[in-house]
Structure 1
Amino acid sequence: MPERESPAGDAAFASTQWSIVLASRPDATDRPAALQSLCSAYWLPVYSYLRRRNFSPADAEDLTQGFFAYVIESDFLTRPDPARGRFRGYLVGALKHFLGQHFERALAQKRGGRVRFVDWSTLDAEREFAAADQPQLDPSEAYEKTWALTLLHRALQQLEAEQIAAGRQRVFTVLRAFLSATPTRGDYDAAALALGTSRTNVAVWVHRLNHRYAELVKLEVAATVRSPDDIAAEMQHLLQALRR
């Protein structure tokens, strides 16, 4: 029986516009979960920007934490308007303002102080930063690239969760490499042998995984732009950021 593929049409895109931001506003009923989602989604682009600004790893962690405290405790989340554009640009603008106005207070806030919005104990910030960093990138370029990588990673996590729920974890584990690299001669044959299936099945499964992955990336992008009409341009921007 063919695998069922989930549609990702304009209606789905329209319902997710700025969803994380809107759900994080003070009057939102699911605010705690939304705040956690906001911080876990966007800490790496913020951290990368700070590291490329030559802040030490420890100071970048403190500033990232302080920035999210500023975002959440100030009126920042009551001000974003989906009609103004992309959340990617809005957030980095707020970060620059924060650095200009509030960084001394953030650095004075020691680890273990007030509520922590990013749990550094569960993260290897420098490893993730190093995996995405290129020395020639300026802070803004580092932010853009890690933003793109963050969206791809979130989409990949969702795809993996779907595959596990469908009882296809082994298939996904073997085939996930084909989502980010073009197979070379013999790769499909090796995968077919590992999965006890045919090369034709492997080709079909890879095609379906790539198709669903692309849908999930579009949904991640859709949540950060003002309308479905902006998705294509934003995805093109992210592809350019990844090529840097």
Structure 2
Amino acid sequence: MAKTPPTHHGAFPVTRWSMVLALREGGDVGTGRLALDELCKIYWRPIYSYARFQGLSPADAEDMTQSFFSFVLEKALFTTADAALGKMRNYLLTAFSRHIKHWQRQASALKRGGGKEILSIEASQAEDELSIQPPDHRTPEMIYQRMCALRIIEATVEQLAQEQEAAGKKDQFQLLRPRLDPTLAGSGNDAELAARLGMTHDAVRQSISRLRKRFREIMRDLVAGTLAAPTDEMVQEELTALRNALVSRE
């Protein structure tokens, strides 16, 4: 279960990305591996989606994605990682593009999974989110960036849900959740929510306001964790880039 991130008060702690990069210099293996696992869970589906929009079949896209993250989880990818690249999502996309070319050259020699440790994630989860139709003229890169944004939102909601459940507010959160998650349709109205929750109209509005504030804090921390050396300005730029990726069209 994800832990509640600390309050930063304008300063960021060591990030997940920087912990991963520290592995190449003998950093804490346990902490670095945990950070790497968390990042891989965020980026598995975007990477898989990129492979699918390169024209690969679901089976081949899964093979390629699993072999890539096997390599990532063995930390070989980061032995020569350039911290100056800064953004995890961009670094992974560049590395995966190279991996595709290598994988295609070696495809006949690869076996599914390769006997290596891989993430326990069903490709069907990613496949269900894709709609590869001829009218969709977005590039694989655009799809990847959009999926990265969606996964950050999803991870934010998951962490917020865990916090609310730990606070004994699971049922309340489930009713309020559509008011927080941009990927969920519909919002209802405060009067209806108040009646269902047995709360006053003002109490519902205050609860929604607090949850939205916490949602923004968690998302900001997750985004900061994908940057090597985040500043407030860099985090805001990344949030803007992810927001733009959700609405971009060719």
TM-score bucket of the superposed structures, by smaller chain: 0.7 to 0.9
1:143 aligns with 2:144: yes
1:208 aligns with 2:207: no
Unaligned runs of 5+ in 1: 1-5
Amino acid at match of 1:21: V
Unaligned runs of 5+ in 2: 1-5
Q: How does 1:1-244 map to 2 (within 5 A)?
A: 7-11=7-11, 13-16=12-15, 18-19=17-18, 21-22=20-21, 25=24, 27=26, 28-30=28-30, 31-73=32-74, 75-105=76-106, 108-111=109-112, 113-121=114-122, 124-130=125-131, 135-180=136-181, 187-225=189-227, 226-228=229-231, 229-244=233-248
Counterpart-to-counterpart distance in 2, 1:177 and 1:107: 46
**1:7 Cα deviation from its structure 2 partner:** 3.4
**1:25 Cα deviation from its structure 2 partner:** 4.9
**1:190 Cα deviation from its structure 2 partner:** 1.1
Amino acid at match of 1:199: H
Change (3 A) 1:42 1:25: farther
**1:170 Cα deviation from its structure 2 partner:** 1.1
Amino acid at match of 2:17: W
Counterpart-to-counterpart distance in 1, 2:123 and 2:146: 23
Counterpart-to-counterpart distance in 2, 1:15 and 1:155: 19
Give a deviation string over 1:199-237, Cα, whole Å, max 9, x none: 111111011100000011100110112321311111110
Give a deviation string over 1:45-77, Cα, whole Å, max 9, x none: 100101111111111100101111233446321
Partners of 2:180 and 2:211 within 8 A in 1: yes
The range that moved more, 224-233 or 87-96, is 224-233
The range that moved more, 13-22 or 168-177, is 13-22
Counterpart-to-counterpart distance in 1, 2:155 and 2:162: 11
Counterpart-to-counterpart distance in 1, 2:51 and 2:113: 21
Change (3 A) 1:230 1:17: farther
Partners of 1:174 and 1:191 within 8 A in 2: yes
Amino acid at match of 2:172: V
**1:152 Cα deviation from its structure 2 partner:** 1.0
Partners of 2:156 and 2:218 within 8 A in 1: yes
Partners of 1:23 and 1:34 within 8 A in 2: no
Partners of 1:46 and 1:64 within 8 A in 2: yes
Change (3 A) 1:108 1:172: farther
CA RMSD of superposed structures (Å) = 2.7
**1:122 Cα deviation from its structure 2 partner:** 8.2
Partners of 2:49 and 2:126 within 8 A in 1: no
Q: Which runs of 4+ in 1 moved over 6 A?
A: none
The range that moved more, 148-157 or 222-231, is 222-231
Counterpart-to-counterpart distance in 2, 1:179 and 1:208: 10
**1:171 Cα deviation from its structure 2 partner:** 1.1
Give a deviation string over 1:124-164, Cα, whole Å, max 9, x none: 23113349xx9232100000000111111111111111101
Amino acid at match of 1:135: D
Give the number of aligned pairs. 235
**1:120 Cα deviation from its structure 2 partner:** 4.0
TM-score by length of 1: 0.85
**1:193 Cα deviation from its structure 2 partner:** 1.1
Counterpart-to-counterpart distance in 1, 2:157 and 2:102: 36
TM-score by length of 2: 0.83
